[in-house]
Amino acid sequence: MIKKFNEMTENRETIQIDKEKLKVIIFDDTYEMKKMGLLVNGIKKYSVVEDEITSADEEDGGGEHEVIIKRTSDNKYFKVTYSNWDLNYNFARDFPEHLTEVFPEKVTITVYK
């Protein structure tokens, strides 16, 4: 079974989030999470469950990422897309500031051997 995330449902939650907080969540920086209140009693408020590189450039090492993040308080899933091409230079302009809810959908794949 493969878990896919369905974006076709109309009633999706969107979360506005500070770019710095989102970056800390995506890069799993537990030290900064604790400082920002995203880690309470050793439990992360958000955790990355999937990080898929949707395109990449081998010359400069950058890529487009589609990330699924789980909110642990209610087990809801959210999607965000970002680019890590020259992230230090383009962070303020290009890094996203919102998460959009997605819903897990189980898909069965048959493989013949």
Domain residue ranges in the chain = 2-107
Taking the C-alpha atoms of residue 67 and residue 22, their distance in angstroms, rounded to an integer, is 11
The pLDDT of residue 1 is 42
State phi, psi for 91 to the nearest 5 degrees.
Answer: -55, -50
Taking the C-alpha atoms of residue 46 and residue 67, their distance in angstroms, rounded to an integer, is 12
State phi, psi for 67 to the nearest 5 degrees.
Answer: -115, 135
Q: Residues 4-44: pLDDT tens digits? A: 555 554 688 999 998 889 989 988 998 999 999 998 888 99
**Residue 5 or residue 65, greater confidence:** 65
Q: Closest Cα partner for 13 from 74, 65, 54, 94? A: 74
pTM, two decimal places: 0.79
Q: Residues 40-59: pLDDT tens digits? A: 888 999 999 999 988 887 77
CA 79 to chain centre: 5
